[in-house]
Structure 1
Amino acid sequence: MSVLDPHLARYAARAKGMTASEIRALFAVASRPEVVSLAGGMPDVSVLDYDQVAAVAAEVMASQGDVALQYGGGQGSPELREQLCTVMRTEHVSARPDDLVVTAGGQQALDLLARLFIDAGDVIVAEGPSYVGALSAFGQYEPHIVHVPMDEGGLIPEALAETLDRLRDEGRTPKMLYTIPNHQNPAGVSLDLERRQAILRLAEDHDLMVIEDNPYGMLDFKHETRTPLVTLAPERVIYIGTLSKIFSPGMRVGWVLAPRSVRDRLVLLKEASDLCQSNVTQAIAEAWLRTQPWMDQVRAFTELYRERCDVMLAEIETAFPAEAAVAAPTGGLFAWVSLPPAIDTGAMLPRAINARVAYVPGRAFFADGGGTQQMRLNFSYADSTKIAEGIRRLGKLIGEELTLLEAFGR
C-alpha cells in the first residue's frame, strides 16, 4: 500500500503508468492572465455570433425539448448524421447517415477505435510527430508506436516504405497507420495527392488499416480542398471528423465513418461507454448546420487564423535565431518549430513560464522520446498582438539559453 495512494495495488496494470499529458499539465499556469499562451489548441469561438447560437438553442428547446432532454440511440441522432454527411460532402466525402457513429468529439472516436483494434504489444505506425491526444488514447491499450518521419510535405512515403519493410523483416505486422493528412497537428503541413496515393498503395501492399483524422481540413489558408484518403480507399480507411474546430468544441460532437462491420462494433462500444451522446448538443449542432450559414463561419475562422499565423511566422523570422526552422502551415491551428540541437524545449519550459509565455514541448508528440529540440506553437487563440509579444519573449529566452550553453561549452 502506498501512503500517497492507498488504491495503488488495486489498479489495472495499464493504469499504473498513466501520467498527465504535457498539454494538460500546462493549463493551470498558461491560463494566468500575465502569461501569453501559445500552448493550447483552442479555436477562437468569439468568431461565432453568440446571440444566434442562443437563438438556435432556444428554438431547439421550444420545438423538441422533450426529445433533446431524453436518452438517445448509441449511434447518434439520424438527423444530425444527415447533416454531418452534408459537411463531409464539402470535402468530397460521400457517405450515408447510416455509415456514421456520432461521438463526444474526435477524442472519443480515437478511444473507441483504440479499444476496438489495439491489443497490448500491437504495432501502430504514426507520423512523427503525432497528435498527443491520439498517442494518449492509443497508449492506454499498451501498443508499440513506431513513428515515421515527416518533412514540409507531411508524412514521407519513402520513409513509410522503409519502416514497413523493416517491420516485416522483423516479423512484426503493424495493426494500423494513424495520420492527420490536412494541416497536421502539430506540424501544420498537408499531404499532396501524390503522397496520399503513394501512402495508400503501401497500405494496400502491407494490408494496413488507415485511420484518417481530419479535424482541420476546412481551415485551409488557400481555401483548397484536398482529396480525402477515405475517398481514395473507402474500404481501407476509417475516417474521423469533428465539429470542434468548425463550430464549437463545447458541443462535443465528432463522428466516425467506417465500414458496416466496424460501425456496428463501435456502436456497441459507444453504448458501453456512455449509453448515448447528449441529445441536447446533437440537436443544437443539427439545427445550426441546417439553418445557419455555417460555411461563412468556417471562412471567418480560417481568415482569422491565417492572419495570426502570418504574424507568428514574421515574428519568428525576426526574433528567433537563424538556426530555427519552421515549415509554413497550410492551415489549421499550429506551427512546429525546430530549435538548435543544444536546446531541450522540455527543460526550457519552466523558464518560459517565468518569462510569461507558454508552448508545448516537442517530446509530447512522440512516443519514443523524440522531439526534444522542437516546440508546438498555437496561433488560433491569442490575438495578433499577444502572439507577437509571446514570440518576442520566446526569442529572448532562446537567445539567453544559447548564450548559457555556449558559456558552459555545450
Structure 2
Amino acid sequence: MRFPAELRAEPRETSLQPVGTPLEHYFSDSARRMVPSEVRSLFAVADRPEVVSLAGGMPNAAALQYGSAQGDPGLRERICGVMASAGISARPDEVLVTVGSQQALDLVARVLLDPGDTVVAEGPTYVTALGTFAAAQAEVVQVGMDRAGVIPDELAAAFARSAAEGRPAKLFYTIPTFQNPTGVTLSAGRRRQILDICRAAGVLIVEDDPYGLLHYGGGPSRALCADDPERVVYLGSFSKILAPGLRIGWAHAPAVLTRKLVLAAESAMLSHSALAQLTVDRYLCTQPWQERLASVRTSYRERRDAMLRALSAYMPAGVSWTVPDGGFFVWVTLPEGIDARVLLPRALAAGVAFVPGTGFYADGRGTRNARLSFSYPLPEEIDLGVRRLAAVIAEWR
C-alpha cells in the first residue's frame, strides 16, 4: 500500500460499456444445482388465513415462528430506506436479510465462486473476507491503494494479468467507504472509474459497506451500487450502527441473484431469528434512530480525534498513519526495519494491543503495518495506549 505525498492523477473517465453477460453466467456450479424446496415453497400458500395448514412441522406458537429465509418483509422494506441514504434505489424483493454481513459475504461466495476462481481485492483488506474466499478455494489477488482508495490503473492491470494467465477475475471485493483496515475512502472520481474498469473486464463487484453511515464530516458517500445496481452486490450491516449482538445484516443484489442467495441461506440455516428481526424492525419504525446515530457519530469522532492527537504527540519520527473521515480504524506504517509481528508481544508486555498488518494480506505483506481501532476505548484510554505503543516503537532494537 502506498500513500505518496502527492496522489496520482485521476485516470481519464470513460463511458460505461455494458457487456450484456447474464448474471446466471457467474453462478457457481453448486448454485446452478440449487432448486427451491417444495415444502418451503408451499408455506407461502399455506400461511394464508383461509387455509387450514397440515403442511408445516412448526410448534403451536403464534409469535416468533419460523420465517422466510429471505427475511421479514417489513424489515427488508426498512432496509431499502436505510440504503437510500447511500443513493441506492432498491425493492424489498432484491434484499436478503442475513446473520450479519459476514454471512452475506459467505453466501455470495457460495453462489458465485468455484474452486480456482479469481477474486481481486484491495491490499490490504478485511481479514475475514480473505478467510471466506480461502474457504471457497478461490485465488485472491490484491491491488494497491493510496489515500484516495484503490488505484484504478493497478486494478485494470490485475484484471488484464489474470485474463492473460487464463484465470480471468470473477469478482472485485471492495470496502470503498472508511475501509477496514486502513480507514481510507475511495474518492468520488475513482468510483466511476472502478465501475468502468470492472464492467469492461466483465467482473462483478461486491461492495461491503458496514461503516458507511459512520461519517464524521459531511454526509454519506454515494455507493457504487447506486450507479450500477445490476453488477454490484451491496452488503450492509446493523452491527456497527445499532448492535452487533443482534446479528442482522443484509445483501442487496439483482433479483435473479437474490433468489439464488435465498436458496443458499435456506440450506444453511432455514430461517433467521424472528426475534432479532422484529426487534430491529420495531426500532427503525418507532425510534428516532437517525438522531441516535448522529449522537453515536459524535462519540466516535471524539475517539478518532483523540487517537490522531495522540499519534501526533507521541509517535517517533518515521511513523505515518491514515486520517479517516469515518469508520473505526487508523492504519499505521512503521519505520523501515520494524516488523509489526515481532513488535506485538513487546507491545502486549507494555499494556497495549494492535493487529499486525500481515493479517490483512493473502501473501504475507504488511509487516511494517498495524491497524489501530479507536471505536471501543475511551479517549483517555486511547491516549494511554498510543503513548505506550509509541514508547515500544522508540525502544526498538
TM-score normalised over the length of structure 1: 0.81
- Equivalent in the alignment of 2:384: 389
Deviations 1:85-142 (A, max 9, x none): 1111122211111110100000100111111112221111000000012111111111
For residues 47-196 of structure 1, the aligned pairs below 5 Å read 66=61, 68-196=63-191
- Note if contact 1:240-1:257 (Cα within 8 Å) is conserved in structure 2: yes
Distance 1:282 1:288 in 2: 10
Q: 1:248 to 1:223 in 2, by over 3 A?
A: farther
Correspondence for 2:365 among 365, 370, 381: 370
The residue aligned with 2:347 is 352
CA positional deviation for 1:171: 2.4
**3-state SS of paired residue (1:305):** helix
Q: 2:270 aligns with which of 239, 259, 275?
A: 275
CA contact (8 A) 2:86 2:226 kept: no
2:212 to 212, 217, 224: 217
Match of 1:380 in 2: 375
Question: Aligned equivalents of 2:224 and 2:262: distance in 1?
Answer: 23
1: distance between equivalents of 2:75 and 2:63?
12
Tell me what 1:4 maps to.
none
Match of 2:331 among 329, 336, 346: 336
Q: Structure 1: which amino acid aligns with 2:376?
A: Y
Contact 1:213/1:239 (<8 A) preserved: yes
Q: Distance in 2 between matches of 1:66 and 1:316?
A: 56
- Residue of structure 2 in register with 1:56 after alignment: none
C-alpha displacement at 1:68, in angstroms?
Answer: 4.5
Which is helix-richer, 1 or 2? Answer: 1
Partner Cα separation in structure 1 for residue 183 and residue 61 of structure 2: 43
**1:170 deviation in Å?**
2.2
Q: Which has the higher contact order (CA 8 A, sep 6+)?
A: 1
Cα deviation for residue 166 of structure 1 reads 2.0
Displacement after TM superposition at 1:355 (Å) = 0.9
Taking the aligned partners of 2:329 and 2:139, their CA distance within structure 1 comes to: 26
1:297 counterpart residue number: 292
Structure 1, residues 319-365: CA drift from partner, whole Å, max 9, x if none? 11221111200100001001012111112211111111111110111
User: Distance between the aligned counterparts of 2:328 and 2:298, measured in 1?
Assistant: 12
* CA positional deviation for 1:247: 0.8
CA distance in 2, matches of 1:66, 1:223: 47
Quote the residue 1:264 is aligned against.
Answer: 259
- % same residue: 45
Contact 1:196 1:229 in 2 (8 A): yes
Structure 1: runs of 5+ lacking an equivalent: 1-64, 405-410
- What is the rounded CA distance, in whole Å, between the counterparts of 2:319 and 2:154 in structure 1? 24
Equivalent in the alignment of 2:37: none
How many pairs align? 338
Q: Is there any run of 5+ residues in structure 2 with no aligned partner, and where? A: 1-59
2:311 matched residue in structure 1: 316
Q: 1 CA distance for matches of 2:62 and 2:260? A: 26
The answer to whether the 8 Å contact 1:67/1:279 transfers is: no
What TM-score do the two structures reach when normalised by structure 2? Answer: 0.83
Q: What is the DSSP-based 3-state SS (H/G/I as helix, E as strand, rest coil) of the residue aligned with 2:86?
A: coil
How far apart are 1:66 and its partner, in Å?
5.0
